Structure 1
Amino acid sequence: MKPLSGLRIIEFDGLGPVTFAGMVLADLGAQVLRLTRSAAAGTAAFSEVGGEVLHRGRPAVEVNLKDPADHARVMELIGAADAVIEGFRPGVMERLGLGPEVCAAANPRLVYGRVTGWGQTGPMAQQVGHDLNYIALSGALHATGEPDRPPRPPLNLVGDYGGGAMLVVVGVLAALLEAKATGRGRVVDAAMTDGSALLMSLFHALQARGLWSDTRGANLLDGGAPFYRCYTCADGRFVAVGALEPRFYAALITGLGLTADEAPQYDMAGWSALHTRFEALFASRDRDDWAAHFAGTDACVTPVLSLAEAPSHPHNQARRTFSGTPVQPAPAPRFDGNPATPVPQPDTLSLDVAVRAWSRPG
């Protein structure tokens, strides 16, 4: 049995953080119904984005929320649910007659998870935007990239998934624990601006102590340090070097044929020259040669694998980090040391079948 077995969650279909949050909750054992826009309601918004991967583990149920009969059935589902998650702009669910107050009246213990870019309140709450805009406002984007170039988008991991999806999951689970004790649900307001700002807590702490500069590529963890960055190898592929601690750095320079006197670790005035020297050394051999050379050492040197390569790495294979068809990341984290289980495929249900399956006496 999985940790969230027995929980019932309604996911209103969307793009980005809500879809990922629904996947995570289903991976952890929750019974999730993904309500999608029916053909009668017009073109489904992003209903195919994610496909077999992000939509795994929970059935899709087509609904027309403007149809009174479908609306009534959705309210029946909500009455039997533990939580709802949605990612529409503030006010949309209220206009559909499915806002938190209406749902709480029907189900007082319901937890209502809302994830947006700007949040439910504030002067920008109604503005459009995407992950990149939200992490720009939080300060997270400014810290990524090269010093002489514009900030580089860190995929949509920081806003959509880290600051949005994962924090709405945390908020929903926290509120569910409270609801179990009190019988009263909560509304969870997960804003990607808030969440991505929270992820930057360490860097605010470092800056407050004078240990972090707003100049990109000039700091310990942003590629400024020659012992914490990636290098190009002879075959055009890359290695990642993460030798932060002195003993790990010692293993690195030993493996590169250098000495501590030649390459002092924390002489920041010499970092530029050390970058150049490390670049020349790593460019002298292929990526996998370097990976084999440093294997089993404390130098913290690993190959940078592509999406296509990662599933074949021996460590990932041993842990079954990837599985399924198409190949995809397996559910995480693990519990009690159990190996990853095969990922389920998406399914579909009719609205009537879903309501019957979720009906609860009394």
Structure 2
Amino acid sequence: MSQPPLPLTGVKVLDLSTLLPGPLATLMLADAGADVVKLERPVRGDEMRSYEPKFGEASANYAVLNRGKRAYGVDFKDPAQRERVLRLAAEADVVMEQFRPGVADRLGLGYDDIRAVNAGVVYCSITGYGPTGPHARRAGHDLNYLAESGLLGVVTDSTGSPGLPMTVLADIAAGTYPAVVNILLALRRRDQTGEGVHLQVPMTHNLQVLGYGYFATHQAGAGWPRPGAEQLTGGSPRYHIYPTADGRHVACAALEQKFWDRLVELVGLDAKFHDDTGQEQAVIDALGERFAAETADHWRSVLDGEDVCTVIVATWDEAVAAGLVDVDAPERVSVPGGADSFPTLPSPISSALRRGPGTTPYPSLAELGDASPWA
């Protein structure tokens, strides 16, 4: 029985973006069958190629994010090369860019420039602060967007200081994923109407979705979150991180009463602290003392097999051993034209909708000639 075509088979994507948000979005489109052509700086290419550790001629980071694409070095400021880019854009279904607002327009590659040669194009702009307003043209990175959105300050330590986030939340959750969703919706509408669109994906503004509960609480009149004091930010003993005797940690998320009742029984918490209402800090302190009295292995033996939503904070090796991090995915990325490969980042695209297992190289940086890569 023949396999059905991938959902984005025949879709041509011109990727002008760099680093993480745009390239990860176009990787997902490529996984679903799109043909992605990535344009980078001449000679050096995308800055991520230079990261460590290296895997062949580029970094492992670059390899993971750009497998299955083709890449060409282009000087956007050179009129002849810009004309080649416009000819490519005239063929594209999707154009992805990640410049600061106004830069693509100055280069002659803004939405109006592309729409003039391709009325049905889906043109996606990922920005830090949106296309207009007092912050629009400012430089920024993930940590800046989290800080200025209000999210970074909602969880604080005992000194009142926020911590570094565990990963680049804004780039992925507020850049990549909204871009993919909106591109797919725009392609669907284009199928229905023939109309293209300019999609704006402002990462700082999109972070509001991650703070949906804080937003709802404020809109209902209860104010903005108090740092480290709300149910999910450190104010509740039922949703907290507790140190163990050996320097490890327990992550407690026993919010529902049935989980909480079983947890306090298992750990032997004094009965006067079973009801945490109105004495949250005292219960946090008491439960902290209990967890701090024993090692992580002890608490793992107590908690394993119990429905209490409370676990040991895992190391990466432990997560792999538990099967929760996949370092042996059937999809592999290889060096260009070589045999060296490694299992690559598992795709979030359903296996029924993406290309099957196999080895796909990341692209060498070629020279963009007059002939179209899509010819």
TM-score (norm 1): 0.86
The offset of 1:37, in angstroms, is 0.7
Checking the alignment, whether the CA contact within 8 Å between 2:95 and 2:121 is kept in structure 1 is yes
Partner of 2:33: 29
What are the within-5 Å matches in structure 2 for residues 1-362 of structure 1?
Answer: 1-39=5-43, 45-49=47-51, 50-146=61-157, 148-155=159-166, 157-209=168-220, 214-258=225-269, 261-265=272-276, 267=277, 269-316=278-325, 329-336=345-352, 341=357, 344-348=360-364, 350-352=366-368, 355-359=371-375
1:219 match: secondary structure: coil
Checking the alignment, whether the CA contact within 8 Å between 1:36 and 1:62 is kept in structure 2 is yes
The offset of 1:287, in angstroms, is 2.2
The offset of 1:315, in angstroms, is 4.2
Judged with a 3 Å threshold, the aligned counterparts in structure 2 of structure 1 residues 313 and 327 are, in CA distance, closer, same or farther, namely farther
Measured in 1, the distance between the counterparts of 2:356 and 2:71 equals: 24
1:269-328 deviations in whole A, cap 9, x for unaligned? 311121122222222333244234222221012222234543332344599599766565
Checking the alignment, whether the CA contact within 8 Å between 1:36 and 1:47 is kept in structure 2 is no
Judged with a 3 Å threshold, the aligned counterparts in structure 2 of structure 1 residues 17 and 234 are, in CA distance, closer, same or farther, namely same
The offset of 1:44, in angstroms, is 5.1
Checking the alignment, whether the CA contact within 8 Å between 1:241 and 1:302 is kept in structure 2 is yes
2:364 match: secondary structure: strand
1:171 match: secondary structure: helix
Measured in 1, the distance between the counterparts of 2:233 and 2:188 equals: 37
Measured in 2, the distance between the counterparts of 1:339 and 1:238 equals: 39
The offset of 1:184, in angstroms, is 1.4
Checking the alignment, whether the CA contact within 8 Å between 1:143 and 1:214 is kept in structure 2 is yes
Q: Report how many residues are paired.
A: 355
Structure 1 unmatched runs, 5+:
none
Partner of 2:54: none
Q: Which amino acid aligns with 2:32?
A: L
Q: Which amino acid aligns with 2:286?
A: R
The offset of 1:191, in angstroms, is 0.8
The offset of 1:99, in angstroms, is 0.9
Judged with a 3 Å threshold, the aligned counterparts in structure 2 of structure 1 residues 259 and 338 are, in CA distance, closer, same or farther, namely farther
The offset of 1:174, in angstroms, is 1.6
Checking the alignment, whether the CA contact within 8 Å between 1:334 and 1:340 is kept in structure 2 is no
TM-score (norm 2): 0.83
The offset of 1:355, in angstroms, is 4.9
Measured in 1, the distance between the counterparts of 2:18 and 2:24 equals: 10
Measured in 2, the distance between the counterparts of 1:74 and 1:220 equals: 51
Structure 2 unmatched runs, 5+:
52-60, 334-340
Q: CA RMSD in A?
A: 3.1
Judged with a 3 Å threshold, the aligned counterparts in structure 2 of structure 1 residues 213 and 92 are, in CA distance, closer, same or farther, namely closer
1:314 match: secondary structure: coil
1:350 match: secondary structure: strand
The offset of 1:259, in angstroms, is 6.8
Identity %: 32
